[in-house]
Amino acid sequence: MPSPVSPDATPRVALFDLDGTLTWRDTLVSFLAGYLLHHPAKCLRLWRLPLTIAHYVFVTHDRGSLKSSVIRLVMGGEPRSRVDAWAATFVARLTDRHTFRPAALAVLERHRLAGDHLVLLSASPDLYVPRIGSLLGFERTLCTEVKWRLAVPSPGAPPTEDVLDGALATPNRRGAEKSSCLAWLRIQYPGLPVVAYGNSTSDLPHLRLADDALLVNGNASARREAATMGVAVAEWS
| pTM recorded for the entire structure | 0.91
Name the nearest CA neighbour of 75 among 120, 128, 118, 39: 39
Q: How confident is the model at residue 5 (pLDDT cuts 50, 70, 90)?
A: very low
Quote the CA–CA distance of 60 and 192 in Å, as a whole number: 38
Tens of pLDDT, residues 182-234: 999 999 999 999 999 999 999 999 999 999 999 999 999 999 999 999 999 99
Q: In this structure, how many other beta carbons lie within 10 angstroms of the beta carbon of residue 97?
A: 7
Kindly report, residue by residue over 78-87, the tens digit of the pLDDT.
999 999 999 9
Fold annotation for 13-234: Rossmann fold (3.40.50)
Instruction: Tell me the C-alpha distance between 24 and 105, whole Å.
Output: 12
**Backbone phi, then psi, for 222, in 5-degree steps?**
-65, -40
Cβ neighbours of residue 126 closer than 8 Å, sequence gap 6 or more = 143, 144, 145, 146
Output the pLDDT for position 4: 43
Q: Which amino acid is residue 182, in one-letter code?
A: L
Nearest to 225 by CA among 197, 207, 195, 237: 207
Q: Characterize 127-153 residue by residue with b for buried, 16 or more Cβ atoms within 10 angstroms of its Cβ, and e for exposed.
A: bbbbbbbeebebebbbbbbbebeeeee
Domain chopping of the chain, boundaries:
13-234
